Structure 1
Amino acid sequence: MKLPPACCRFQTLGAALGVCVTIGFTVQLLGGPFQRRVPPAPPGPPPSPCQPHTHLVFLKTHKTGGSSVVNILHRFGEARGLRFALPHRYQFGYPGGFRAERVKGFSPGGPPFDIICHHMRFNLSEVQRVMPNDSFYFSIVRDPGTLGESAFAYYRSAAPAFRRAPSLAAFLASPERFYRPGVRGNHYARNLQWFDFGLPPASPGDAAAVAAALAALDRAFPLVLLAEHFDESLVLLRRALCWPEDAVVAFAHNGRSLGGAAARPTAAQAARLRAWNALDWALYAHLNRSFWRRAEAFGAARLRDEAARLRGRRAALARRCLRGGGPVPARSVPDGRLRPFQPPGGGARILGYALRDGLPPAERERCARMATPELQYKDVLDRRQFGGNATAGGGG
């Protein structure tokens, strides 16, 4: 990881001495009398450490690594008895815009929620009806050069534009042949992140409209993570939330196997995906710059060290918890509660986790929570808050 070099300027000792010499003259100019020096106050208790944030709004964007962040929030909230704003099923009426009434158990003036973190098309005014005023808002984005390929594989059956194309290469050769704006499901096929943030339609060539939309996004979200620098993102998130280090240790969720016909996009395909998703590229480039400014303020060496420590802790837990020490195909996960949802159409094979045999009960429970997919974990939280027999049956 490379951070841009910082340029620091320091005041010289001579300048400081000059200020001291002119103090008497300045006081005379201001007409202020000399004051009796007040003795310093006796030393008090050290400043109290920051308080962990427990009111959280996470906008989970599609195909950006958000499922791993949701697992962190699920575990943090469940361990502390926090109240989640949950959808009636698995998304808040997506792809429709978010409305407070989509939250299970919401009523004006009712008990407050602590965390909201499931898929929605963002609508700030409606989220504010649900969440406390001191909530911390954050999200995650990904380079559309890779996100577009992942969306093509995962949403092949849901997006008519993708379904009609025989391959990603054919789609990128002439996307206008397959894409029709406004057709249900085609939001997955172009500028998906712009859509998820609820930003207004804009022409990529309208620089003023794009800049205004991004400025509104900056005002709503003080921190946006980068999928390509996930561990560094978690370090900055942990510091912003004042959480302990172990709170952000997580296994990667909703990853897919790249065996068989699946492959990373070529450099030429990535360039075409960025051009096709020009609004997403503008959004990503803007937030990428913001992220590295924040990282620079945090300190390059410090960020590098903490990210390495986070990776080491994750690797140790994977060795301790997981059969094989990492993700496995879903068919190799014997426990249905840990088996990940597979998107229809077979375009993407989602990996999951199988726990090692012989783990002590308390440790097995902890490992299981880290390995539980989003849909099943949402059902656990739903039963805890509302009772009943919710079962996972779909998502995205």
Structure 2
Amino acid sequence: MKVPLPRCRLQRLGGALGVCVAVGFVLQLLGGPLQRRTPAPPPGPLPAPCHPRQHVVFLKTHKTGGSSVVNLLHRFGGRGLRFALPHGYQFGYPEKFRAERVKGYSPGGPPFDIICHHMRFDLAEVQKVMPNDSFYFSIVRDPATLAESAFAYYRAVAPAFRRAPSLASFLASPGRFYQPGLRGNHYARNLMWFDFGLPPVAPGDREAVAEAVAGVERAFAMVLLAEHFDESLVLLREALCWPEEAVVSFPHNRRPRGAVPRLSPGQLARLRAWNALDWALYGHLNRSFWRRAAAFGPARMAAEVARLRRRREALARRCLRGGGPLPGPAIADGRLRPFQPARGGVAILGYALKAGLEAGEREKCARMATPELQYKDILDRRQFGGGNGSGG
């Protein structure tokens, strides 16, 4: 038979248990002698604040995706920055760049903020036009796919391509069609090397090739990769300290996907061998790019790229008729219709805006959709109050 405890003993026991529970709970919260805790590491230094770069030199190389980069530069700078503009649409290309080809340039006059239209690069001449703290960057592409694109786009202006009945015929015997020094034939061999303004050297002269490539790395703080365009934009945004919205862009000057032929391994190898200087340049800059990407961090890169693509897709759905690109001839608005090559049989894609967009949203969408030539004319009128010339 159990003997009931007196009420006072029960109350004292319950109180003692309550005190123990409360003390244990407090020790868990505060950490006490019953629990060994690892001290938190001291906070590291905060990242230094950055300021958006407003002095920018972009060397737009041919057939590398540079038109898409020019669009984001036009948009960023079009709200008050001063562009170094050509009198026409290129700075005297294929001649080397000269400062006097910039509209409104005068020696000792105020420098410009952004230069981004086609030129054959000359560092000393560009430095006459741009401030000393300018950020120099460019873009490169696998010379095999670049050469295929150039063959389709420049058939009318490159004699070596015009004489060849097909790309396969050209690759079978390039020397049969190619004549060095003939005007327009710079499009047919080592086009990136030419655009960077590098001297003609023998591909087998490794020392001369290495010296030329090293000069590119000294002049340019960054070189993007066309094949990894979104990763390039992520790294560019960080380097320029620009807001995310500034580097969201629609692809420009593209061909329909089905119109781009698939090159065989043999064709790729022959095109790289024919463009050996470009292949050496691309290989070196490719390795430099991935070192920068590794320092940025693979997980961080994947997250940034995914966010960039989501933003682009959302804007395409909001802005564009059909939600994406259209063949140039199908775009009724001449302000948005892209330039079409004189020969080649492939329509370059562009964009048409959705009907019913509100005024502010329509303006934003139009800036993203406007092709390079029309945008250049807008900037020209804004800076000089007139139209454009037709010369380079």
TM, length-normalised to structure 1: 0.86
Q: Which residue of 1 aligns with 2:4?
A: none
Q: Which residue of 1 aligns with 2:189?
A: 190
- Three-state SS of the structure 2 residue aligned to 1:58 is strand
For the residues of structure 2 that align with 1:378 and 1:322, how far apart are their CA atoms? 21
For the residues of structure 2 that align with 1:47 and 1:298, how far apart are their CA atoms? 14
Alignment of 1:320 onto 2:318: yes
Distance of aligned partners of 1:298 and 1:48 in 2 relative to their CA distance in 1, 3 Å threshold: closer
For the residues of structure 2 that align with 1:139 and 1:217, how far apart are their CA atoms? 10
Structure 1 residue 142 displacement after superposition = 0.1
Tell me the amino acid that sits aligned with residue 112 of structure 2. F
Residue of 364, 367, 370 corresponding to 1:366: 364
Q: Which residue of 2 aligns with 1:130?
A: 129
Alignment of 1:232 onto 2:255: no
Q: Which residue of 2 aligns with 1:169?
A: 168
For the residues of structure 2 that align with 1:53 and 1:83, how far apart are their CA atoms? 13
Q: Which residue of 1 aligns with 2:200?
A: 201
For the residues of structure 2 that align with 1:361 and 1:243, how far apart are their CA atoms? 25
Note the residue ranges of structure 2 that are not aligned, 5 or more in a row. 1-42
Tell me the amino acid that sits aligned with residue 133 of structure 2. D
For the residues of structure 2 that align with 1:249 and 1:340, how far apart are their CA atoms? 19
For the residues of structure 2 that align with 1:193 and 1:154, how far apart are their CA atoms? 15
Tell me the amino acid that sits aligned with residue 358 of structure 2. P
Structure 1 residue 258 displacement after superposition = 4.5
Q: Is the 8 A contact 2:87 2:388 kept in 1?
A: no
Q: Is the 8 A contact 1:149 1:264 kept in 2?
A: no
- Three-state SS of the structure 2 residue aligned to 1:91 is coil
Q: Which residue of 1 aligns with 2:250?
A: 251
Q: Is the 8 A contact 1:57 1:137 kept in 2?
A: yes
Q: Which residue of 1 aligns with 2:375?
A: 377
TM, length-normalised to structure 2: 0.87
Tell me the amino acid that sits aligned with residue 375 of structure 2. Y
Distance of aligned partners of 1:100 and 1:210 in 2 relative to their CA distance in 1, 3 Å threshold: same
Q: Which residue of 2 aligns with 1:118?
A: 117
Structure 1 residue 259 displacement after superposition = 4.2
Q: Let me know the Cα RMSD of the aligned residues.
A: 1.6
Q: Is the 8 A contact 2:87 2:391 kept in 1?
A: no
For 1:1-396, list aligned pairs within 5 A. Answer: 49-79=49-79, 81-259=80-258, 262-390=260-388
- Three-state SS of the structure 1 residue aligned to 2:88 is coil
- Three-state SS of the structure 2 residue aligned to 1:336 is coil
For the residues of structure 2 that align with 1:212 and 1:47, how far apart are their CA atoms? 35
Distance of aligned partners of 1:197 and 1:330 in 2 relative to their CA distance in 1, 3 Å threshold: same
Structure 1 residue 103 displacement after superposition = 0.3
- Three-state SS of the structure 2 residue aligned to 1:224 is strand
Identity of aligned residues (%): 77
Residues 212-234 of structure 1: CA deviation (Å, up to 9, x unaligned): 00111110001000000000000
Structure 1 residue 256 displacement after superposition = 1.1
Q: Is the 8 A contact 1:60 1:66 kept in 2?
A: yes
For the residues of structure 2 that align with 1:286 and 1:92, how far apart are their CA atoms? 27
- Three-state SS of the structure 2 residue aligned to 1:57 is strand
Tell me the amino acid that sits aligned with residue 304 of structure 1. A
Q: Which residue of 1 aligns with 2:13?
A: none
- Three-state SS of the structure 1 residue aligned to 2:357 is coil
Q: Is the 8 A contact 2:340 2:348 kept in 1?
A: yes
Q: Which residue of 1 aligns with 2:7?
A: none
For the residues of structure 2 that align with 1:47 and 1:322, how far apart are their CA atoms? 38
For the residues of structure 1 that align with 2:350 and 2:254, how far apart are their CA atoms? 8
For the residues of structure 1 that align with 2:175 and 2:391, how far apart are their CA atoms? 30
Residues 355-387 of structure 1: CA deviation (Å, up to 9, x unaligned): 001100100010001000000000000000001
For the residues of structure 2 that align with 1:293 and 1:153, how far apart are their CA atoms? 33
For the residues of structure 2 that align with 1:341 and 1:207, how far apart are their CA atoms? 39
For the residues of structure 1 that align with 2:143 and 2:365, how far apart are their CA atoms? 33
For the residues of structure 2 that align with 1:88 and 1:54, how far apart are their CA atoms? 22
- Three-state SS of the structure 1 residue aligned to 2:187 is helix
- Three-state SS of the structure 2 residue aligned to 1:307 is helix
Q: Is the 8 A contact 2:54 2:113 kept in 1?
A: yes
Q: Which residue of 2 aligns with 1:37?
A: none
For the residues of structure 2 that align with 1:366 and 1:118, how far apart are their CA atoms? 22
Structure 1 residue 389 displacement after superposition = 2.8
Q: Is the 8 A contact 1:156 1:347 kept in 2?
A: no
Q: Which residue of 1 aligns with 2:40?
A: none
